[in-house]
Structure 1
Amino acid sequence: MRALCLLCWAVLLNLVQACPDPCDCGEKYGFQIADCAYRDLEGVPPGFPANVTTLSLSANRLPGLPEGAFREVPLLQSLWLAHNEIRSVAVGALAPLGQLKSLDLSHNLISEFAWSDLHNLSALQLLKMDSNELSFIPRDAFRSLHALRSLQLNHNRLHALAEGTFAPLTALSHLQINDNPFDCTCGIVWFKTWALATAVSIPEQDNIACTSPHVLKGTPLSRLPPLPCSAPSVQLSYQPSQDGAELRPGFVLALHCDVDGQPVPQLHWHVHTPGGTVEITSPNVGTDGRALPGALAASGRPRFQAFANGSLLIPDFGKLEEGTYSCLATNELGSAESSVNVALATPGEGGEDVVGRKFHSKAVEGKGCYTVDNEVQPSGPEDNVVIIYLSRAGPPEAAIAAEGKPAQQLSGMLLLGQSLLVLFLACF
C-alpha cells in the first residue's frame, strides 16, 4: 500500500515538473509560467503541467487554434498568442479557460472567431484582438465579460457594429477601435452617440472614421453629420378588391403590408399554419406572379406569392392555409411587425349566428362599428374585428373569417373570388 502511495506521488510530481521540450517552465513571482515564445511552433505542444497559470506562445507560426487546444491548462490566467499566423479559432478552443484574465490574440490573421467561447470567460479583464481580419462582431459577443477593463479592436475590417455591443462591459475603461473601414450609414449612428457620451477612454478618435459612402470618406465618426434615419413601421391591411383581378377557383386571399423606414426596410412574411411555419423573403415573385430565380419555388407560381410592393397573395385559400400571417420589416435601426389570424368558416359551424349575436349585443350597448366603402372603423383599441365574405352572391357555401390583432391595426380584408359579397361586420 505504501509503495502504491509513493508511486502515485512520483507520478504527480512528474506531472507537475513536466514541460514540453520546446518550452521553458518555471515559477516566477508566484506564477507557474510556460514560455514557448519564438520557438517556430506550428501547433500548441502537448505535455504542459496542469498548474500553469501563464502561457506564452507569441511569435510562432500557429495557423489556428483547434477545439481543446488548452484543455491541459485549465488554471490559465494569462494567454499570449500575438504575432502568429492564426486565421481561425474553433469553438471550444478557449471555452475551458474559465479563470483567464488576460488574452492577447493581436497581430494575427483571424477572420473566424468562436465568439461563443467568450461567454465562458467571465473573469477576463484584458482582451487584445487588434491587427486581425475581423469583419463582424455578434451583438451578444461580450455579454458575459462584466470584468473586462481593456478591449482592443483597432486595425481590423469592421464595417458595422450592432447597437448595444458594448453595453454588457460595465467595467470597461479603455477601448481601442480606430482604423476600421466603417460604413457610415444609419446603423453606426448609435455608436457615435455612445462614444461621445461614455466615460470609457477611446483614443485616436480622429482615426475612427468613415470609409463609405464616398461622400463621407475620411470623416471622423465624432463629426458625422445628421443622417435621415428612422426605424421601420408597418401597417397590415386587407380590403375588398376593386381591381378586377383574374378569378380563380376557390378563394384568393390578399394581404398588404405598408412599410416605412430609412434605410428602406427589408420585408419578410411569416406564415404559421397547421402544417408548419413558412418564412418568405419579399419579393419571391415578379409582377406576373411567377417565381423569381432563387425563390423557394423553382418554377411556376408559389403557394404564397410575395410581391415587391408589399402584397402577399394566397391563391386557392383553404383549410391548409388557415393560421397567422405576419409581416416583419427590418432595417439597421430595428424591426416592426404586424399580424392577422385568418380562418375558413364552413357551413354548419354556426359562425354566422355567433358573430351576428355579438354584433347585435354590441349595438344594444351603443358600441360597435360601421362601414363606409367597406373600411373598418373600430369603436375602441380593445375591439377585435371579424369580417366575413362569401364566395358567391347566393346562399353561402363557404366563408372566410379574419380575426385581427388590436382593431386599430385593421382596415379591411382583400379577398378575390367569385362575385364577392360582404356578409356582415362585427366588433367585440
Structure 2
Amino acid sequence: MKNKITLFSSFILPIYVAHGCPEKCTCHTVSKTADCKNRGLREIPAHLPPGIQILQLQNNHIWRINENAFTGTPLLKILDLSNNSLSSLAPGTFQKLRYLQVLNLTRNLIHYIENKTFSFLPHLKELDLSSNSIIRLPETFGNSTGNITLLSVKHNKLQKMERVLLESLPNLKVVLFKDNPWQCNCNVFGLKLWLESFLYRGGISDGIICSTPGIRKGKDLLKVPYELFGACPLTAAHVHLTSIHHHNFEHRSSLKHAHHNEHAENSWSNCDPKPKPRPVSLRHAIATVVITGVVCGIVCLMMLAAAVYGCAYAAITAKYHREHLASARQHGTPEEKEPFNSSLA
C-alpha cells in the first residue's frame, strides 16, 4: 500500500508543479521559480504563475519585450534575461515589477538605454548591463532607482558616462567599467572626479582604462594628472569637489581600487586644473615685513653707535698724543739742553 501511495504521489507531483505553467517552462511552487531557459523562446511566455519570484529566461532568442509582458507576474524578485537577442528596451518595460531586486541583461544586443527605462523599481539592487553593445547611457535610469548597489557596464562600447547618472545612485557600492573604449578627454573628467570620491567613500570598482587619445591609451584614468585637463571648461561643482577630495585620493584609492575586494558620493562632464596652493595671509605678510624692518633698524643703529664710538675714541687718543708730544718738545730733558761738545771735555 505504501509503495502505491509513493508511486501515486510521484505521478501527480509533476502535474501539480506544471499547473498554470507555460508549455516550454518548468515551474516550482516551493522555490517560486519558473525555469524557461534554453527553450528557444522568442518572446516572454504568457500565462506564467502569478506567484513566482524567480524567472529564468537566459539562453533563448527573445528579441523584444511586450509592454504587458510582466503584468501577470508582479511579485518577481529576480529576472534573468541574459544571452538573448534584445536590441532595445522601451521605457517602462519593467515598471510593473515593483519588487524586482536583480535584473540580468548581460550578453544581449542592446545599443543604448533610454531615460527612465527602469522607472519605478524601488527595490532594485543589482543591474547588470555587461557584454552588450551600449554606446550611450542616459542621465537617469528612472524614478525610484536610488537603491541600486551594484551596476555593471563592462564589455560595452561606452566612451563616456555622465556623472549625473552615477550621482542619482547614492547607495552604489560596486561599479564595473572595464573593457570599454573610454575617451580620456574633458568629457570623462567628471567621471574621474566622481570615481575618486566613490573610492574614497569605500566603493569598489575595477577602474577605467583609457583607449583614446593615443598618448593616454592603456593608462588608468585615475593616474592621469590633473594638469593634463587644465584646458577643460571649469564648473563650480568640479572646483568644490576637487578641493575636498583631491588631497586624500592617492592613499585611499591604492587601498580600494581594482580587485582588493574590500567592501565598500557628489558632483564632479568637464575639467578643472589642479588646485593652487593657498595664498599667504596679508596680515601675516605685513607683520613679517614690520618685524624684519625693526630688527634691521636696531642692527643699523648698533653699527652706527659702534662707528661713532670708534671715531670718538680715535680722535681723543690722537689729541692726547699730540698734546703729550708738544709738551715734551717745549720743556725737554736735561740731556737735550746740554751743549753737544760738552760731552767731549
What TM-score bracket applies, with the shorter chain setting the length? 0.5 to 0.7
In 2, distance between residues paired with 1:107 and 1:95? 22
Unaligned runs of 5+ in 1: 1-13, 234-331, 335-428
Q: Could you say if the C-alpha distance between residues 166 and 96 of structure 1 is closer, same or farther in structure 2, counting changes exceeding 3 Å?
A: same
User: What displacement does 1:197 show?
Assistant: 2.5
In 1, distance between residues paired with 2:146 and 2:98? 13
Q: As a proportion of its length, which structure holds more strand?
A: 1
Equivalent residue number for residue 102 of structure 2: 102
Equivalent residue number for residue 53 of structure 1: 53
Write the deviation string for residues 170-191 of structure 1: whole angstroms up to 9, x where unpaired: 2211111111111111121121
- Quick check: 1:152–1:175 contact (8 Å CA) kept in 2? yes
Equivalent residue number for residue 230 of structure 1: 233
Deviates more, 1:41-50 or 1:85-94: 85-94
- Quick check: 1:151–1:175 contact (8 Å CA) kept in 2? yes
Write the deviation string for residues 331-375 of structure 1: whole angstroms up to 9, x where unpaired: x449xxxxxxxxxxxxxxxxxxxxxxxxxxxxxxxxxxxxxxxxx
Taking every aligned residue pair, what percent have the same amino acid on both sides? 28
Equivalent residue number for residue 154 of structure 1: 154
- Quick check: 2:54–2:76 contact (8 Å CA) kept in 1? yes
Secondary structure of the 1:90 match is: coil
Q: Could you say if the C-alpha distance between residues 224 and 143 of structure 1 is closer, same or farther in structure 2, counting changes exceeding 3 Å?
A: farther
In 2, distance between residues paired with 1:65 and 1:115? 17
- Quick check: 1:144–1:168 contact (8 Å CA) kept in 2? no
Letter paired with 2:232: C
User: What displacement does 1:142 show?
Assistant: 5.5
Write the deviation string for residues 275-321 of structure 1: whole angstroms up to 9, x where unpaired: xxxxxxxxxxxxxxxxxxxxxxxxxxxxxxxxxxxxxxxxxxxxxxx
In 2, distance between residues paired with 1:223 and 1:132? 27
- Quick check: 2:120–2:142 contact (8 Å CA) kept in 1? no
Equivalent residue number for residue 25 of structure 2: 23
Letter paired with 2:141: A
Q: As a proportion of its length, which structure holds more helix?
A: 2
Q: Could you say if the C-alpha distance between residues 94 and 114 of structure 1 is closer, same or farther in structure 2, counting changes exceeding 3 Å?
A: farther
User: What displacement does 1:200 show?
Assistant: 4.8
User: What displacement does 1:44 show?
Assistant: 1.1
Equivalent residue number for residue 44 of structure 1: 44
Equivalent residue number for residue 194 of structure 2: 194
Unaligned runs of 5+ in 2: 1-15, 237-268, 272-345
Structure label with greater radius of gyration: 2
Letter paired with 1:178: K
Equivalent residue number for residue 216 of structure 1: 216
User: What displacement does 1:147 show?
Assistant: 1.6
Secondary structure of the 1:191 match is: helix
In 1, distance between residues paired with 2:186 and 2:136? 17
- Quick check: 1:83–1:107 contact (8 Å CA) kept in 2? yes
User: What displacement does 1:143 show?
Assistant: 5.4
Q: Could you say if the C-alpha distance between residues 39 and 66 of structure 1 is closer, same or farther in structure 2, counting changes exceeding 3 Å?
A: same
Q: Could you say if the C-alpha distance between residues 148 and 53 of structure 1 is closer, same or farther in structure 2, counting changes exceeding 3 Å?
A: same
User: What displacement does 1:123 show?
Assistant: 0.8
Deviates more, 1:134-143 or 1:167-176: 134-143
Equivalent residue number for residue 134 of structure 2: 134
Q: Which structure 2 residues correspond to residues 153-302 of structure 1 after superposition, within 5 A?
A: 153-198=153-198, 199-205=201-207, 208-226=208-226, 227=229, 228-231=231-234
Write the deviation string for residues 381-400 of structure 1: whole angstroms up to 9, x where unpaired: xxxxxxxxxxxxxxxxxxxx
User: What displacement does 1:50 show?
Assistant: 1.4
Equivalent residue number for residue 69 of structure 1: 69
User: What displacement does 1:17 show?
Assistant: 3.5
Write the deviation string for residues 210-268 of structure 1: whole angstroms up to 9, x where unpaired: 112222222211112321212389xxxxxxxxxxxxxxxxxxxxxxxxxxxxxxxxxxx
Q: Could you say if the C-alpha distance between residues 138 and 112 of structure 1 is closer, same or farther in structure 2, counting changes exceeding 3 Å?
A: closer
- Quick check: 1:66–1:89 contact (8 Å CA) kept in 2? no
Letter paired with 2:71: R
User: What displacement does 1:52 show?
Assistant: 1.5
Equivalent residue number for residue 374 of structure 1: none
TM-score by length of 2: 0.59
Q: Could you say if the C-alpha distance between residues 232 and 55 of structure 1 is closer, same or farther in structure 2, counting changes exceeding 3 Å?
A: closer
- Quick check: 1:106–1:129 contact (8 Å CA) kept in 2? yes
Secondary structure of the 2:222 match is: helix
Secondary structure of the 1:75 match is: coil
Letter paired with 1:138: P
In 1, distance between residues paired with 2:95 and 2:76? 12
Q: Could you say if the C-alpha distance between residues 115 and 56 of structure 1 is closer, same or farther in structure 2, counting changes exceeding 3 Å?
A: farther
Letter paired with 2:40: D
User: What displacement does 1:22 show?
Assistant: 0.3
Q: How many residues align?
A: 219
In 2, distance between residues paired with 1:200 and 1:130? 23
User: What displacement does 1:69 show?
Assistant: 2.0
- Quick check: 1:67–1:91 contact (8 Å CA) kept in 2? no
